[in-house]
Each structure stands twice: as structure tokens, then as C-alpha cells.
Amino acid sequence: MKASNSVSMLLAAGALLTLSVPMSASAQMKEAPMQHCAAHGAMIDLGNVDQMGDMMGSCLEHSDKMGLSEDQVLKMKPLHRTMQKKQARFVADLKVAQIDLAEIMEVKDFDLDKAGVAVKKIADLKTAHHLEMLAAMKEMRSMLTEEQFKNMRKMMDMKTDKKKPGHRMMQKHK
């Protein structure tokens, strides 16, 4: 097989894989609990970075349990709204880019260069969004005291543990 054919097949397979992944924000937030978010733990799974808004929403909802001051809540609310807007824009832009890629690939002998540009656009959108979310995480974390950060981690760990069936079974047998 020629190298160009291998590249073509690999790019087409990657593009099809990209199209087969569910991309709605609500689907992502409901299907994948925030288990490895940089804001709550040491591990980073960029697929879950989008759930920063969910984590921040939980912090705001349970501000009393976390020990947040009124001033902290007032500073976090606009950041949370901004993140929600960025998430909505990201989801819309990503969907349009995926539709563009699908349109390019509709024909049997699609233009590989155009498909490559479309795939790169999708990757660039995801990268830019992840970097924005990481910046927001850092900003939010800077508003917390060490004790509040520990409280947030405990709260998120408990929330995550409830969604892990194997962990619940282990807890019952202790």
C-alpha cells in the first residue's frame, strides 16, 4: 500500500471516529462524571475538563459547606456564567466544524486536503477550549483558601465515589 493511501485511510478513520463521539455539552456532563479534573485532583483527563462548570456550580450550590464567603461567591458567579457561555459557544462551533467535515466526506472521492483542514480545525477548537477551561480552573482555585480547596476536593471525591459502582460495593464490605 502506498504511503499516501495509508495516510488517507488513517485520516478518514480518525475523522469518522471524531464524528462518532457524542459532543453535546449536556450529554458529556451527564455521561462522564468529573473524575480526573485538574481542579479537584492531581490527574488531568482533558475529556472531562468541560465539566469545570459543573464543579464550580456545585461549589456555588454548596458554598456554606465549603466555607465560601459572600465576597467569594460574588466573584465566582460571573466566572461561572462566563464559563457556561464559553461552553455553549464551544459546543456550537464544534458541531458546525463536524458538520463541515461530514459534508466534505460525503462524496466517495473526497478532498483529503480539505478534510485535513477540517480535522485540524476540530482539534484546534478542542485545544483552545481546554486551555480556556484550565485558565478558569486556575482562576477559581486562586479564590479559595487551602481549607476551602480541601473541602472542595472532599465534596468532589464524595460525588465521584457515589457514581462508581465498584467503590460502593467495596465500601459495603468494609
pLDDT digits over 53-111, tens only? 567 788 888 888 888 999 999 999 999 999 999 999 999 999 999 999 999 999 999 99
Residues 22 and 148: their CA atoms lie apart, in Å, by 34
Would you kindly state where each structural domain of the chain is located, as residue ranges? 3-161
Look at residues 127, 136, 122, 114 and name the one whose alpha carbon lies nearest to residue 59.
Answer: 136
Q: Nine-digit cell at 85?
A: 457561555
User: Which ranges of 62-145 does DSSP label H, i.e. alpha helix?
Assistant: 63-66, 70-104, 112-142
Q: How confident is the model at residue 142 (pLDDT cuts 50, 70, 90)?
A: very high
- C-alpha 122/C-alpha 83 separation (Å) is 20
| Rounded-to-integer distance, Cα 24 and Cα 88, Å | 9
Rg (CA), the chain: 20
Question: pLDDT for 22-55, tens place per residue?
Answer: 443 333 333 333 333 333 333 334 445 555 656 7
Q: How far from the centroid of its chain's Cα atoms is residue 76's Cα?
A: 19
pTM strictly above 0.85? no
pLDDT of residue 61: 86
Q: How far apart are CA 157 and CA 78, in angstroms?
A: 25
Kindly state the cell numbers that stand for 141: 482555585
Distance from C-alpha of 111 to C-alpha of 160, rounded to nearest angstrom? 44
Question: CA torsion sign, 156 to 162 to 164 to 169?
Answer: positive
Q: Is 75 within 8 Å of 41 (Cβ atoms)?
A: no
